[in-house]
Structure 1
Amino acid sequence: MATTATALHERLTLQIPFPSSRLATIAAQVLDVDKDLKPEVSRRIISTQDNILTLDFQTSTLKLLRTVVNSSMEMVQMVVNTMGSFDTEHE
């Protein structure tokens, strides 16, 4: 059976500043544990530069983009809240 490639037409990049590069890296590592379930219709690329966490989303539809971004932002909020409660190291 032949498969057809789905173009990832919709794209959004979010840059989220953290108080330090250490916290941005920890957030990226935590968020990167969850891999894309269907990379042919949705892709999330996570990276950091200094204290900036970058989330680059690519999806096949605008509706899917909204869903993926919303879910990812809920995860980011959970990570930030957890860091606020448990991080005791200050730079």
Structure 2
Amino acid sequence: MATDATAGLPCELTLDIPFPDARLASVALNAIRVDKELSLLVKRDLSVIPADGSSDQSVLRVEYKAATNRMLRVAVNSFLDSLALVLEVMEELDVDVVEARQKENSG
């Protein structure tokens, strides 16, 4: 059943973005959640959830509801741009990510 906040928002999309560990998923959540949706006709909920078969909350879940498909597309494109920036910063500055990548490349 739709709540008052999401009534009239028929277009929905859920994205699950896996991270190597819960800490990085939490960092991404906290970095992205400060940017609120600009339109009242788009609602976004962010959370971290466990990966399948794990208790480690390493998946960033993003749930969108919007009034139109176009508004949903614009909001998701903007989110993906923000996520790309967060991932780029993690890759450049987070020591754990750099070390994990070096291990992958050497193995």
Give the TM-score normalised by the residue count of structure 1.
0.87
Residue number in structure 2 paired with 1:24: 25
Deviations 1:32-84 (A, max 9, x none): 00112233x00110000211000101000000000000100010010001000
Residue number in structure 1 paired with 2:105: none
Is the contact made by 1:6 and 1:60 (CA closer than 8 Å) also made in structure 2? no
Task: Quote the sequence identity (%).
Answer: 33
Q: Counterparts in 2 of 1:43-58, with a 5 A limit?
A: 43-49=43-49, 50-58=57-65
Residue number in structure 1 paired with 2:74: 67
Cα RMSD between the aligned structures? Answer: 1.8
Whole-Å separation in 2 of the counterparts to 1:6 and 1:63: 18
Which protein is bigger by CA-based radius of gyration?
2
Q: CA deviation at 1:88?
A: 1.3
SS in 2 for 1:65: helix
Give the TM-score normalised by the residue count of structure 2.
0.75
Higher helix share: 2
Question: What is the aligned length?
Answer: 86
